[in-house]
Structure 1
Amino acid sequence: MYKPSYGYFIIMLIMIFGVTACGSTDINNYKSEKTVSVKDQSTGNYRGEKVEKAQNIASADPESLQDDDFEVSYRSHKIDKNTDIKELIHKWGYSEGFEANNRGYNSGNGTYRRWSLSYPNYEEPEIRFVVLSKIELEGEELVDGESYLVAVSLENPKFKTKRGLKIGDTLGKVLQLYGKPSIVTNGSLLYSKNGLHLRIQWDTETEKVNNIFIEYNMEKSVKQQRSADYVEEGAQPDPDLEPYTIQREQSFTTTLNGWGEVKFISTLKDEDTDDLIQAKFFLEANDEKHVENKILYEFPEFYGNNGKMIDRIKAVSFKDLNQDGRTDIVIIADYITGVNAHGIETLPVAGIYFQKKDNTYTTQPELDKSINQTGHNRTLQNVIQYVNKQRINVQ
């Protein structure tokens, strides 16, 4: 399961400097207009935009997180990592809509089921509890056995966190109350301490908080549930499984030398792992012999990772760059440089995979470094034109 990596600590430093800059510029000195990078949802691109003085952001130096910052109160009952879910059910029942919503089912297998308990009902919930239960046989009926609270989601603005944050508050207020996040993604800030995680999600158009999600036992639940999943011996699973998620808009069926027709799969590490979100690429079988997903090849480390938090895979191109008759692959991603009161800030990063004589792929780190340092990394055409001028020999 998750183990802090060197890259994780690097990105922590990047976030500290990035958000510290936000703290001093966007919070302490937010008296002048500033052009920031904001994502246009219609195009997926980032646009420069003048942002007026944010009246609701004051100079702040929030206290460091404590365990009780992850506690919430509902119906005068304290909710924390030790909450007994069966005690809550005994007090409040299952609420209206439980059976109609397939008993709150989210996912499961023959050993565990992950489900949600919503109050006061499932149609207009104020709060939602995510639970993992071991499935047990009681007579001839399957029932929830040992259960524990995985996470809680605040769904209504009348409920606040310990520091007073609620749905509808601005991103600026999040930074004012909590300061530097542990991890930043587009639309989400994560604050962590001692295995507890406060995930604050905001609408990238309105720049207001639309969900507050507190994780108490997420890592434990993911490990238990996945360890019980049936995986055929010797099978190589689809990278949708732990810990990567397919980026389908940048995954393609293509024909490569020595491989024939294959699926090129772009993935990002699942942000629920609470690790550094990085890119990984695979070749997957695309024939009738492999009805199920079969990983044929895992590409080397992407240059764009290199201690960076990847926001998205931006572009992929298949082209013979060094005229050796083999198919090379150009990839451009956006990585996160920081966060301000209006969202995340990103920059592009490019990397190239050159196909070798044995049909596997390799990288040229010095060339990748040069592409990015000279700014020839913004479009596929930029990269290709720059590389065409270089002498590249790949064995």
Structure 2
Amino acid sequence: MYKPSYGYFIILIFLTLGVTACSSSSIHDSGETATAKVKQEDTGYYPDKKADKAKNVVCDDPKPLSDEDFEISYRSHKIDKKTDIKELIRNWGYGEGYDNFNRGYISGNGTYRRWNLYYPNYEDPEIDFVVLSKIELEGEELVDGESYLVAVSLENPKFKTKRGLKIGDTLGKVLQLYGQPSTITNRSLVYSENGLHLDIYWDTKTEKVDNIFIEYNMEKSVEQQRSADYVEEDAQPDPDLEPYTIQKEQSFTTTLNGWGDVKFISTLKDEETNDLIHAKFFLEVNNDKNVENKILYEFPEFYGNNGKMIDRIKAVSFKDLNQDGRTDIVIIADYITGVNAHGIETLPVAGVYFQKKDNTYTTLPELDKSINQTGHNRTLQNVIQYVSKQRINVQ
């Protein structure tokens, strides 16, 4: 069963179509032109190759989304942004197993409770209503006060969206019914309109839909719950709770000038947060002792984050590129360019960190731009050879 994310999505990647039919091409390592492609003319390199002939997906141009596309029907009851949760409970109860599953608890504080309302039961649900309730005191008991529908998760293939999509359908059918998405993450497509979001998740092995998640009031619920988490007006989240996930395969123990033995940490921003999935890099203390602050240094913004959604950190190299006796760092990542019936499509993007005399690091955006626009971004050797031919003086 899919466990829904409880952050909210904003439009991450704006896709444009070159044709009105929603045909799609296969994914190839050679980087052939994707059916749906992010326009980033100033920062990206796109090989001038023709797309393959469309496979598996042929359709008329899907009509634009409307509020009705985010409605579903359950037990002959229309579910939408204005659904009255208390009325559902009066009609259907709380679902079998509600108390045994900690009353559907997801998260909470002293003000709000976020919880799941599963039907017909909590062991094998057909549908999941995500609810935010204000906590109130009734006598000596805490109860759910004002409540509203945050989102709905379809858990059974017998339930369909307004356009007929269900669990088990192919990515090709998604594109047939809805066209290209507003947003792509590494395993979901998001269609957005008027603050409503249809999140379609797929199994990367079977290339079929395994969850349909409709967000009605996600932004409102996150803001309310977050504001209640911090008592002090100017309180800030703990920096250790930054929404980044360590990429272990591209994190290394190394020795750097002026830093000694350190850990170079590659991270990606968690896709459950509100923003683009970006890459971020840190130096950490290289020991297991319990120190107050393990982070020694935060690297400048990675060039590949420039308007792109990073899919993965592909390669890292530590090398003196300009023969000044200091250790420079080359990063190559893959970023998402579009989606077809077989999944996401990616292209590489490279960036270089040059070490300065004070041992901190800097970037040269014009050089990074040139590396990527000329196509010298596919392997570490490509980048190193290209940069080594340039005259670079970093103070």
Is residue 2:54 matched to residue 1:63?
Answer: no
Superposition deviation, residue 231 in structure 1? 8.9
Residue 179 of structure 1 corresponds to which residue in structure 2? Answer: 179
The answer on whether the counterparts of 1:126 and 1:155 sit within 8 Å (CA) in structure 2 is yes
The answer on whether the counterparts of 1:219 and 1:273 sit within 8 Å (CA) in structure 2 is no
> Where do residues 32-181 of structure 1 align in structure 2 (5 Å cutoff)?
35-37=26-28, 54=55, 57-181=57-181
Whole-Å separation in 2 of the counterparts to 1:4 and 1:209: 21
Question: What are the superposed Cα offsets for residues 52-82 of structure 1, whole Å, 9 maximum, x if unpaired?
Answer: 9856x33211110001111111111111111
Given the superposition, is the C-alpha separation of residues 380 and 53 from structure 1 closer, same or farther in structure 2, using an over 3 Å criterion?
A: closer
Whole-Å separation in 2 of the counterparts to 1:253 and 1:219: 39
Residue 238 of structure 1 corresponds to which residue in structure 2? Answer: 240
Q: What is the identity, as a one-letter code, of the residue corresponding to 2:239?
A: P
Superposition deviation, residue 98 in structure 1? 1.8
Question: What are the superposed Cα offsets for residues 176-223 of structure 1, whole Å, 9 maximum, x if unpaired?
Answer: 111121011222111001110001111222221111110111122222
Is residue 2:243 matched to residue 1:214?
Answer: no
Given the superposition, is the C-alpha separation of residues 108 and 372 from structure 1 closer, same or farther in structure 2, using an over 3 Å criterion?
A: same
Greater alpha carbon shift after TM alignment, 195-204 vs 306-315: 306-315
Superposition deviation, residue 278 in structure 1? 2.7
Given the superposition, is the C-alpha separation of residues 360 and 270 from structure 1 closer, same or farther in structure 2, using an over 3 Å criterion?
A: same
Is residue 2:319 matched to residue 1:319?
Answer: yes
Q: What is the identity, as a one-letter code, of the residue corresponding to 1:37?
A: H
Residue 364 of structure 1 corresponds to which residue in structure 2? Answer: 364
Superposition deviation, residue 260 in structure 1? 5.0
Whichever structure has more helix as a proportion of its residues is 1
The answer on whether the counterparts of 1:240 and 1:246 sit within 8 Å (CA) in structure 2 is no
Whole-Å separation in 1 of the counterparts to 2:330 and 2:107: 37
Residue 281 of structure 1 corresponds to which residue in structure 2? Answer: 281
Whole-Å separation in 2 of the counterparts to 1:111 and 1:105: 14
Per the normalisation by structure 1, the TM-score is 0.81
The answer on whether the counterparts of 2:20 and 2:61 sit within 8 Å (CA) in structure 1 is no
Superposition deviation, residue 85 in structure 1? 1.7
Is residue 2:298 matched to residue 1:307?
Answer: no
Question: What are the superposed Cα offsets for residues 34-63 of structure 1, whole Å, 9 maximum, x if unpaired?
Answer: 65338xxxxxxxxxxxx99856x3321111
Question: What are the superposed Cα offsets for residues 10-37 of structure 1, whole Å, 9 maximum, x if unpaired?
Answer: x41xx114xx4694543xxxxxxx6533
SS of the residue aligned with 1:375?
A: coil
SS of the residue aligned with 1:348?
A: strand
Superposition deviation, residue 132 in structure 1? 2.0
Residue 31 of structure 1 corresponds to which residue in structure 2? Answer: none
Whole-Å separation in 1 of the counterparts to 2:75 and 2:283: 51
RMSD across aligned positions (CA) = 3.1
Whole-Å separation in 2 of the counterparts to 1:2 and 1:159: 23
The answer on whether the counterparts of 2:23 and 2:59 sit within 8 Å (CA) in structure 1 is no
Whole-Å separation in 1 of the counterparts to 2:150 and 2:10: 21
Aligned residues: 364
SS of the residue aligned with 1:145?
A: strand
Residue 33 of structure 2 corresponds to which residue in structure 1? Answer: none
Given the superposition, is the C-alpha separation of residues 53 and 61 from structure 1 closer, same or farther in structure 2, using an over 3 Å criterion?
A: closer
Whole-Å separation in 1 of the counterparts to 2:58 and 2:171: 13
Given the superposition, is the C-alpha separation of residues 389 and 54 from structure 1 closer, same or farther in structure 2, using an over 3 Å criterion?
A: closer
SS of the residue aligned with 1:271?
A: coil
SS of the residue aligned with 1:81?
A: coil
Residue 331 of structure 1 corresponds to which residue in structure 2? Answer: 331
Which one has more relative contact order, counting CA pairs under 8 Å at least 6 apart? 2
The answer on whether the counterparts of 1:236 and 1:295 sit within 8 Å (CA) in structure 2 is no
Superposition deviation, residue 112 in structure 1? 2.8
Residue 3 of structure 2 corresponds to which residue in structure 1? Answer: none
Given the superposition, is the C-alpha separation of residues 249 and 217 from structure 1 closer, same or farther in structure 2, using an over 3 Å criterion?
A: farther
Instruction: Work out the percentage of aligned pairs sharing the same amino acid.
Output: 78
Whole-Å separation in 1 of the counterparts to 2:91 and 2:254: 57
The answer on whether the counterparts of 2:23 and 2:55 sit within 8 Å (CA) in structure 1 is no
Whole-Å separation in 1 of the counterparts to 2:106 and 2:115: 5
Greater alpha carbon shift after TM alignment, 130-139 vs 252-261: 252-261
Per the normalisation by structure 2, the TM-score is 0.81
Greater alpha carbon shift after TM alignment, 275-284 vs 178-187: 275-284
Whole-Å separation in 1 of the counterparts to 2:114 and 2:246: 22
Residue 197 of structure 1 corresponds to which residue in structure 2? Answer: 197
Superposition deviation, residue 347 in structure 1? 0.7
Whole-Å separation in 2 of the counterparts to 1:221 and 1:346: 33
Question: What are the superposed Cα offsets for residues 212-261 of structure 1, whole Å, 9 maximum, x if unpaired?
Answer: 110111122222223333599677512543xx444444344555444455
Gaps of 5+ in 2: 1-6, 30-51
Whole-Å separation in 2 of the counterparts to 1:98 and 1:104: 6
Given the superposition, is the C-alpha separation of residues 320 and 271 from structure 1 closer, same or farther in structure 2, using an over 3 Å criterion?
A: same
Superposition deviation, residue 269 in structure 1? 3.7
Q: What is the identity, as a one-letter code, of the residue corresponding to 1:148?
A: Y
Q: What is the identity, as a one-letter code, of the residue corresponding to 2:379?
A: T
Gaps of 5+ in 1: 27-33, 39-50
Whole-Å separation in 1 of the counterparts to 2:121 and 2:387: 59
